[in-house]
A and B are shown apart, each in its own frame.
Chain A
Amino acid sequence: MIKRLEFKKIITSPIVLGLFLLFLMYNLFLIYDKTPMKEDMNLLQPIIKENGTLMDADGRSGLQSSYEKELATWNKLAQTKTGDTYEAATDFYKPEHFHSLMEAKTYTDKELQAISTLALKETYFHTIDGIESQYNQLNMIKSAEEQIRVFGLGEGVAETVRTQYTQLDTRVKELITNKEHLHLFFHGKIYATHSFLFKTLFQSIIFQAMILIVLFTAFLVNYEFEQKTSLVAYSTKRGRHLVWDKLVVALLSSLVATFTLLGTTLLVYFLVFDYSGLWNVPISTGFLIELNEIPFISWWNFTFLEYLLLSCALLMICQVIFALLTFCLSMWIRNSYIVFTIFGVIFGAGVLLPGYIPKDNLLILYTHFSPFVLVMNVKKWWMESGAFTSFKHYEVITVSAWLIALLLIAWFSISRFTRENL
């Protein structure tokens, strides 16, 4: 009953409700803004249905014969219409004759759609070779040395980085053996779906949920003090044990708010963009590589669905950490606005701190094990993510350590509160 009434305080707050709706609308706008590429992305589905996702020798041969057959059909049509033949479907789009063909309306819409699909199939087909050669040349040890040089890391730090990248090198070999990199997925260089989903959307949701959680946790914990009802509330039978209810409600509300924000955004995203047939594609596939040419090397062989679910879970745990941190601050500072500001300062300091640590001090690695740094790099969770955070269990260690530390501080703060003069 008490928890229900505490929860009511949060959901009846106009600021919390207003911000929640505003954030949700912003996320939907981000998705809406990307909808023009939806039709093109959907052209991948018939290719997958026909040839599957794995582009090993068999898959590639199937795709090649299908492509060549369709190109031959297209050339037959082209010959009857203009007398031209094309060596590749993309040649059709060469500006010297494409515009005249369009003006003359030589081809029907259906025929144009067919060449467009064929050109895309061709792009996917030709990409495979590039991916295979890129992965075969991948050398994680060399990559580590390059980063050590770029960042000017001291010997102790460099040795740790080398150890991690040696493990990654083993993982790359395993990945190649598993052919994880050869699975078809939305072309990263064209659509950059990984960045859009895990950077743009996830990052937005992380900050939105964090703002809401810090606001309502500070608001809830300090409610009685700010409304001057603390003397009445804390002299009742429930008394100071009320803060336990507040802690539970703040944590549950954080999970509910994050789940609703994340769930609604992802639901709309996956309704708009058709991922059927792609859920079980390994997240380390080379097709995800975007314009920066950096491959996504996950520490484990996760499918896209597993990666998505794990990232959702990690995002929720991060929000629990932020709720706990806000709770601890609110137990010492009886003003929700000051708590909000101090949280912002701590967040900023957490992100900036590693930049001030000498490059030869191991502390530079330890300071990266913070939820603040963690949430700034969502699209590289569970993956190779640079010299400072490429540890196999980086995410798990970071959230576990912070959860345990904050739970202990919360418990200590509550114990102190039970002995505090009000």
Chain B
Amino acid sequence: MLLVEEVTKNFGKFTALKKINIEFHNGVYGLLAPNGAGKTTLIKMLTTLLFPTSGTIRYEGHDIIKMDDKYRELIGYLPQEFGYYKNYSPTAYLLYLAALKGIDRKTAVARVKELLKIVALDHVATKKMKKFSGGMIQRVGIAQAMLNDPRILILDEPTAGLDPKERVRFRNLLTNLARDRIVILSTHIVSDVESIANEIIMIKNQEVLYKDTVINICRKIDGLVYETEVDYGDTEKFRSTYLTLSEKQETGKMHMRFLTTEDAKPEWKTVHPNLEDVFLYIYQDEVPSAGDDFDD
């Protein structure tokens, strides 16, 4: 179990996270918040790249800072900005990182081969990465995070650059992995986590707002989400009156999905809220904060 206890992180006078408490068990956790909310700060603390200003993070009861390499050998991490060496092949790069992860050469060679196959890069295993697409680089990043078969897999915006097919494959991979480990997936793309996360963690105003299942979180706005059709001419007025969640043109009218606490009108159709609706509702007044300068 990974336990975040009363963790606060300040950057000078700016508070990025305030008294955060989270408990992680095996399974997929979706860390969902807009850019600048402190996701990367939390993740960097979970990977010991940042140190909490106050509070502790414990793994199986031990402070992860004191555990030092004993903790880091348990984690796999894909940062938001995944850097690579242009003139290295994925094999050479992964072997280098395997050495840093303390994996012996023989084991590393076999593991790298296996992982490159999993991320469908085995056909370019010895090609220099400078000619790789963004998606291919991201897959190298995913492979390196899994090199040491980590007990805690931490992925920051892992699907950036992946095409829809790769995204599906990646989600399936994570679901399989999460059976016997903690997978923390930070994203601002709701669809990345909606279908696979056992729990969603939402951060707002530097604090954990929700940590619950998708169903329970969606229940928070149950009965407030509707769909209706609006004439084109009334669209602007509708948008300014209600929180529009989505809209599309259909049969000469605008099909609006929206949220309101007003009493329902006869032409409105009540619908089940999804995670994206909650996200838009929670962060409707969110403007990029000073935290953007530090992370995300």
Residues of A within 8 A of B (CB): 1-2, 5, 224, 227-239, 241-242, 419, 421-422
Q: Decide if B83 touches A230 in the complex (CB within 8 Å).
A: yes
Q: Is the CB of B97 within 8 A of A2?
A: no
Q: A236–B49 contact, CB under 8 A?
A: no
How many of B's residues come within 8 Å of A, CB to CB?
A: 29
Do residues B102 and A419 form an inter-chain contact, with CB atoms below 8 A?
no
- Whether A235 lies near B48 (C-beta < 8 A) is yes
- If A230-B83, A231-B79 touch, whether A241 touches B49 (CB-CB below 8 Å) is no
The digit string for B21-48, where 1 denotes a CB below 8 A from any CB of A, is 0000000000000000000000010011
Contacts A236-B102, A237-B72, A237-B101 supplied; 18 other A-B pairs, CB < 8 Å? A2-B99, A2-B100, A224-B83, A227-B84, A230-B83, A231-B44, A231-B79, A232-B77, A233-B97, A233-B100, A235-B72, A236-B97, A236-B100, A237-B69, A237-B73, A238-B69, A238-B99, A421-B51
Q: How far is the CA of A233 from the CA of B72 in the complex (A)?
A: 11
**Shortest beta-carbon distance from A221 to chain B in Å:** 15
- Separation in Å of the A272 CB from the closest CB of chain B? 39
A residues near B78, Cβ cutoff 8 Å? 232
Q: A419–B65 Cα gap in the complex (Å)?
A: 10
B50 touches A422 (CB 8 A): yes
- Residues of A contacting B105 with CB < 8 Å? 1
If the complex has contacts A2-B99, A421-B50, are A237 and B148 also in contact, measured as CB distance less than 8 A? yes
Give Cα A236 to B72, complex, Å: 6
List the B residue with the shortest CB-CB distance to A238: B100
CA distance A228 to B83 in the complex (A): 5
Q: Are A231 and B69 in contact (CB under 8 A)?
A: no
**Min CB distance, B93 to chain A, in Å?**
9
A227 to B84, CA, bound (A): 7
| Contact of A235 (CB < 8 Å), options: B77, B81, B85, B99 | B77
CA distance A238 to B102 in the complex (A): 7
Residues facing A in B202-223 (CB within 8 A) are none
Let me know if B49 and A227 touch, CB within 8 A.
no
Give complex CA distance A72, B216 in Å. Answer: 119
Known: A239-B48, A419-B51. A231 touches B81 (CB 8 A): yes
B-chain residues with CB within 8 Å of residue A233 when the two chains form the complex = 97, 100
B250 is an interface residue with CB less than 8 A from chain A: no
- Scoring B residues 111 to 149 as 1 if CB is less than 8 Å from chain A, else 0, what string do you get? 000000000000000000000000000000100100010
Query: Are B69 and A241 touching (Cβ within 8 A)?
Result: yes
A232 touches B51 (CB 8 A): no
A251: min CB distance to chain B, Å: 20
Residues of chain B with a CB closer than 8 A to A1's CB? 99, 105
Contact in complex: A227, B69 (CB < 8 Å): no
Chain B residues positioned under 8 Å from A239 (CB to CB): 48, 68-69, 72
Considering the complex, give the chain A residue whose CB is closest to the CB of B46.
Answer: A235
Encoded as 1 (CB less than 8 Å from any A CB) or 0, chain B from 70 to 110 comes to 00110101110111110000000000110111100100000
How distant is the Cα of A235 from the Cα of B154 in the complex, in angstroms?
Answer: 11
Within 8 A of A (CB), among B142-195: 144, 148
Roughly how many angstroms separate A228 CA and B69 CA in the complex, as a whole number? 22
Which residue of the partner chain B has the closest CB to A227? B83
B104 to chain A, nearest CB (A): 8
In the complex, chain B residues 49-71 whose Cβ is within 8 Å of any chain A Cβ: 49-51, 68-69
* Bound Cα distance A228, B141 (Å): 13
* Cα(A228)–Cα(B81), bound, Å: 8
**Given A237-B69, A421-B49: A5 and B83 within 8 A (CB)?**
no
CA–CA, A422 and B68, complex, Å: 15
- Top 8 A-B residue pairs of the complex, sorted by shortest distance between their CB atoms: A228-B83, A229-B83, A236-B100, A237-B73, A231-B79, A237-B102, A235-B47, A422-B49
Say whether A5 contacts B99, CB under 8 Å. Answer: yes
